[in-house]
Amino acid sequence: MGGVGFAVSGRRGDDPTQYPGKLTWYVVMTLMAAAMGGLIFGYDIGISGGVTSMAPFLEKFFPSVYHNQMDDTSTNQYCKFDSQILTLFTSSLYLAALVASFFASTMTKKFGRRKSMMFGGLIFLVGAIINAAAVHISMLIIGRVLLGIGVGFANQSVPLYLSEMSPYNYRGTFNVCFQLMITIGILVANLFNYFFAKIEGGWGWRLSLGLAGVPAIIIIISSFFLSDTPNSLVDRGRDEEAKTLLKRIRGVENIDAEFNDILAARNDARLVQNPWQNIFKSRCYRPQLVMSILIPFFQQLTGINVIMFYAPVLFKTIGFGSDASLMSAVITGVINVLATCVSIGFADRWGRRTLFLEGGVQMLIFQIAVAALIGAKFGVTGDVTELPKWFAIVVVICICFYVAGFAWSWGPLGWLYPSEIFSLEIRSAGQSVNVAVNMFFTFLVAQVFLGMLCTMKFGLFIFFAFFVVLMTLFCYFFMPETKNIPIEEMTRVWRDHWFWKRFMNDPNDPVNGAIKMNRIEQV
């Protein structure tokens, strides 16, 4: 179908199923190294909940919270841990990441994906050092902000890097490795907290916070050895270099079909002077814009971070002791890692939609089960003093099923799907919108969860379940399948979609019109 033009392929390139090439070791190693970027994000998600439950840390930096908790004699379990200052410590990082992701967009586009990763790693390292050495709360906050900037840069650049470097039919597999690293980061952080909390002298929190520097060093070192993506090189006018690289990473000499598609994408991209203005104004980007907002919104409204940030607190609430609570958090962490591996194997085989839909239904069932269990035992007053062991165990099992549902669907695909749907001209800007929305809702959930638990009680789980219903319906009706479609050919999924196609063929849309003319001239 080469040359039939935009109506079929979205580009003027050849049949994507005929892109020759194999999976080379070079590309596997490069992608593994890049996926390390997920570690720094995961470590942060996992570390703060445990650190803020360490008494010496609280006593040093948040004495009023510490004394309130010590003096609290109420039996209302729902409200035991509600403290805005403390949650601000956790959530401030995500606000910094939100702002940084917009700066990262320009850097990723102008200087390449690799430099953004390296920069993110460096800033993160400085943040980790300041946090480990903190003697005053201001050092803690500055450290958190720097960590947030690092996360903003890494999350903006790594998923793009992975999606562009991977052969199109392995894109799901490699991109999910980013999420796998996130989950490993969370688990390692949980384990560290478990052991460091026991260190005599109460300085274990310094180790927990400081060791965040290790994944940062890994990403800095590995980004020295990474090459940039062919798409980014072409976008910056380094065509010959891109061609040589493409031959190397695909392991064949004949890369013309793929290379021509990237060139065509770049030519379209040059017509779009201001990606930021266009992504919001131009109707032909409407489907992509909607996805870049709704996917991270829905990902966070699954309520997953309630478990990731506050699992120990939640488990304490349902009757486990301190040690058992931290251990249960480790168990959900292990399930999170293992279930993500399912997605690595199946995202490219079963497709994104199957996983999204199955994951949604599974999360819904187990959220309702948790709500029913907690509702039955705690009622609306939350006044409980004695809870049977079996009850806590059943709740933990339900939470494990819920986490598994997330871990093979909205977890990895929440990063994969947005990173593969944008056209080159708006890819960097679109990814920033994705990261910013994700960080905003991560911040919000982290900030308001304990308050919501206190007021909404077990209804909180119903609240999140409501969004899971919405997102599953949205996926069913509005999310086209993207597996096995080359990244520079993605516009065709919108052109073929029953709903989105109305935005794609508007002759009055200036961007759409200019790109069409450009393709006709080039065919």
Q: Which residues of this chain interact with ligand BGC, rule CB under 6 A? A: 45, 179, 182-183, 186, 299, 304-305, 308, 336, 411, 414-415, 438, 442
Rounded Cα–Cα distance for residues 184 and 43 (Å):
8
Nearest approach in angstroms of CB 42 to ligand BGC is: 7
Nearest approach in angstroms of CB 403 to ligand BGC is: 8
For ligand BGC, which is the closer residue by CB, 39 or 234?
A: 39
For ligand BGC, which is the closer residue by CB, 449 or 500?
A: 449
Nearest approach in angstroms of CB 41 to ligand BGC is: 8
Contact 296, 418 (CB under 8 A): yes
The DSSP call for residue 482 is: -
Rounded Cα–Cα distance for residues 408 and 35 (Å):
17
For ligand BGC, which is the closer residue by CB, 26 or 401?
A: 401
**Cα atoms in the 13 Å half-sphere on the side-chain side of 379:** 7
Rounded Cα–Cα distance for residues 141 and 210 (Å):
14
Torsions phi, psi for 319 (to 5 deg): 110, 0
Nearest approach in angstroms of CB 309 to ligand BGC is: 8
Nearest approach in angstroms of CB 117 to ligand BGC is: 17
For ligand BGC, which is the closer residue by CB, 263 or 307?
A: 307
* Residue 280: how many other CB atoms lie within 10 Å: 13
Nearest approach in angstroms of CB 304 to ligand BGC is: 5
Q: Which residues of 471-490 are buried (b: 16+ CB within 10 A; e: fewer)?
A: bbebbeeebbebbebbbbbb
Nearest approach in angstroms of CB 283 to ligand BGC is: 29
Nearest approach in angstroms of CB 104 to ligand BGC is: 16
For ligand BGC, which is the closer residue by CB, 11 or 171?
A: 171
Nearest approach in angstroms of CB 301 to ligand BGC is: 11
Contact 148, 192 (CB under 8 A): no
- What the block records as the tokens of 330 is 């480790």
Nearest approach in angstroms of CB 411 to ligand BGC is: 4
Query: Locate tokens 């992608």: which residue?
Result: 31
The DSSP call for residue 409 is: T
For ligand BGC, which is the closer residue by CB, 182 or 313?
A: 182
For ligand BGC, which is the closer residue by CB, 51 or 134?
A: 51
For ligand BGC, which is the closer residue by CB, 9 or 179?
A: 179
Contacts with 338 (C-beta within 8 Å, 6 or more apart), sequence order:
404, 407
CA 84, 85, 88, 89 dihedral sign is: negative
Nearest approach in angstroms of CB 413 to ligand BGC is: 9
CA distances from 334 to 42, 312, 331, 337, 370 (A): 13, 15, 5, 5, 20
414 closest CA partner among 90, 183, 121: 183
Q: Is 101 exposed, middle or buried (0-12, 13-18, 19+ CB in 10 A)?
A: buried
For residue 383, the SS3 value is: strand
For ligand BGC, which is the closer residue by CB, 411 or 486?
A: 411
Rounded Cα–Cα distance for residues 211 and 151 (Å):
15
Rounded Cα–Cα distance for residues 175 and 355 (Å):
15
Nearest approach in angstroms of CB 368 to ligand BGC is: 21
For ligand BGC, which is the closer residue by CB, 44 or 268?
A: 44
For ligand BGC, which is the closer residue by CB, 63 or 345?
A: 345
For ligand BGC, which is the closer residue by CB, 52 or 438?
A: 438
Rounded Cα–Cα distance for residues 366 and 395 (Å):
9
CA distances from 346 to 47, 174, 181, 510 (A): 30, 11, 17, 39
- What the block records as the tokens of 190 is 């949980």
